[in-house]
Amino acid sequence: MPNMSLNKLPMPEQDPNIRNKNFEEVSLGYTEEMAIEEANRCLNCKHKPCVNGCPVNVRIPEFIAEVQKGNFAEAYRIITSTNALPAVCGRVCPQESQCESKCVRGIKGEPVAIGRLERFVADWYMKNGTDKIEPIASNGHKVAVVGAGPAGLTCAGDLARKGYEVTIFEAFHDAGGVLIYGIPEFRLPKDIVKREIEKLKQLGVKIMTNMVMGKVLSVDELFEMGYESVFIGSGAGLPSFMGIEGEGLVGVYSANEFLTRINLMKAYKEDYDTPIKKSRAVAIVGGGNVAMDAARCAKRLGAEHVYIVYRRSEEEMPARLEEIHHAKEEGIEFMLLTNPNRIIGDENGLVCGMKCVKMELGEPDASGRRRPVEIKGSEFIVDVDSVIISVGTSPNPLIRSTTEGLEANKRGCLVADESMKTTKEGVYAGGDAVTGAATVILAMGAGKTAAESIDHYIQNQ
């Protein structure tokens, strides 16, 4: 019997006033009964519009039909036939603008909670799954992957399943990319990422950490070592700043640095000695997912006031709706149509305020969004002792500057064609390194395409 409720079954969550003081996961997940109830909202549409909205074409109605029957292991097998990181994607994909935006149930009411069901299935399988992963026999070919983020991990997994001997070279001391160092524990528990990575290792993928490519080894040296192809999935970890006065003061962080200290180096735990400033009032400049994550971390570290300072209105904010909603519930204060033009320091060079100007929206700009325009004479000072800049990132130039023949565009992104082939023979690239900061699922999609292309390249040598 279909469930004709117009609304998604609500997700159980930690109370906002409790969770804004801890780093445990905010959303608690559906129970088996809840998952079946929500799955019964799916109409199993013949033309499957939801599948077209998914960058890796998860067979959505098929997996949901198995959830309806309580066949959770089969649902897991269906999802993982096209998506290797379902527990991650179920938590962080922007479903509202992908699969769920196409769902027929969304025409009148809310779409089926596809993301919540994907997460349920992945979590269920982690607890109850019994399938053993057997290493695949080698086909005798070696491939190197630079970067252990979603793009690199997906590419490595797909190649290993085809029998390639794959080694991932990762700059940090831990694998996972932004999933480990950017997205906070309360949104994506690190244990989940670690377990997904463990499965890749069981498949035979080798991961070498503390290997900054372009410094420790060059791409050309990888070829000399016998790797027949190289995939570059090195992300877009270089933070942008605004170029305003005061950005060098003590108490100004890039969102990347702030989040890395907290996530990768556990600065929020008493028994770790990574220094991070305890702030009273923090301004986060920006309106994307990264800004929301930084704001919610600052609140959890004990700041009394945490402001999101964004120069357009809430409608133009790039962050996921759920993240904006969660941030507001947790007490983050939104200063919209506001732009900083100077960070103010005291006599010791410590941040003690930020000068801002009010904005209004003018005509649409190249991005199609209405352009923010300053309102003359509307300057005011916000009382803050830390400022976190979250206005975007671009790819680090290290690899392209040390690899002859590897071209990048004006934004510093590696040039790759539709098959993810770069301008250098045998080198493929994908994810944020090619697109600039984007999404987990797009990075995974690029990793998949590159694995296919690398296989084709090596087999036709």
Ligand X SMILES: Cc1cc2nc3c(=O)[nH]c(=O)nc-3n(C[C@H](O)[C@H](O)[C@H](O)COP(=O)(O)OP(=O)(O)OC[C@H]3O[C@@H](n4cnc5c(N)ncnc54)[C@H](O)[C@@H]3O)c2cc1C
Binding residues for ligand SF4 (CB under 6 A): 42-45, 48-50, 60-61, 64, 103-105, 111-112, 114
The answer to whether 150 contacts ligand X (rule: CB under 6 A) is: yes
The site partner of 317 among ligand X, ligand SF4, none (C-beta below 5 to 8 Å per kind) is none
Minimum CB–partner distance for residue 6 and ligand SF4 (Å): 13
E-strand spans in 256-337? Answer: 281-285, 305-309, 333-335
Q: Which of 208, 391, 398, 415 is the binder for ligand X (CB under 6 A)? A: 398
Q: How many CB atoms lie within 10 A of CB 59?
A: 18
Distance, C-alpha 395 to centroid of its chain: 15
Is the Cβ of residue 101 or residue 139 nearer to ligand SF4 in the bound state? 101
Query: Which stretch in 108-116, 158-166, 177-185, 332-340 sits in contact with ligand X by CB under 6 A?
Result: 177-185
Burial class (CB in 10 A: 0-12, 13-18, 19+), 126: middle
Q: How many CB atoms lie within 10 A of CB 374?
A: 14
Is the Cβ of residue 65 or residue 136 nearer to ligand SF4 in the bound state? 65
d(C-alpha 395, C-alpha 237), whole Å: 6
The answer to whether 230 contacts ligand X (rule: CB under 6 A) is: no
The answer to whether 136 contacts ligand X (rule: CB under 6 A) is: no
d(C-alpha 431, C-alpha 177), whole Å: 11
Phi and psi at 41, nearest 5°, equal: -80, -15
The site partner of 398 among ligand SF4, ligand X, none (C-beta below 5 to 8 Å per kind) is ligand X
On whether the CB atoms of residues 148 and 154 are closer than 8 A, the answer is: no
Give, for 168, the enclosing helix (H) or strand (E).
Answer: strand 165-169
Q: Which of 235, 340, 345, 372 is the binder for ligand X (CB under 6 A)? A: 235
Minimum CB–partner distance for residue 96 and ligand SF4 (Å): 13
Q: Which of 170, 330, 385, 455 is the binder for ligand X (CB under 6 A)? A: 170
Is the Cβ of residue 87 or residue 114 nearer to ligand SF4 in the bound state? 114
CA end-to-end distance (rounded Å), the chain: 55
Q: Which of 84, 122, 145, 146 is the binder for ligand X (CB under 6 A)? A: 146
The site partner of 431 among ligand X, ligand SF4, none (C-beta below 5 to 8 Å per kind) is ligand X
The site partner of 326 among ligand X, ligand SF4, none (C-beta below 5 to 8 Å per kind) is none
Is the Cβ of residue 50 or residue 153 nearer to ligand SF4 in the bound state? 50
Sheet holding 305-309, edge to edge: 252-254, 386-389, 281-285, 305-309, 333-335
Is the Cβ of residue 230 or residue 440 nearer to ligand X in the bound state? 440
Is the Cβ of residue 8 or residue 19 nearer to ligand SF4 in the bound state? 8
Phi and psi at 177, nearest 5°, equal: 65, -140
Rama region for 192: left / alpha / beta (φ>0; ψ in -120 to 50; rest):
alpha
The answer to whether 152 contacts ligand X (rule: CB under 6 A) is: yes
d(C-alpha 87, C-alpha 155), whole Å: 18
The answer to whether 242 contacts ligand X (rule: CB under 6 A) is: no
- The DSSP call for residue 230 is E
Distance, C-alpha 313 to centroid of its chain: 23
Minimum CB–partner distance for residue 43 and ligand X (Å): 27
Residues numbered 87-116 forming contacts with ligand X, rule: CB under 6 A: 92-94
Minimum CB–partner distance for residue 110 and ligand SF4 (Å): 11
Give, for 382, the enclosing helix (H) or strand (E).
Answer: strand 380-382
The site partner of 45 among ligand SF4, ligand X, none (C-beta below 5 to 8 Å per kind) is ligand SF4
**What residues make contact with ligand X under the rule CB under 6 A?**
92-94, 146-152, 169-172, 177-178, 182-183, 211-214, 233-235, 237, 259, 289-290, 293, 320, 396, 398-399, 431-433, 437-441, 443
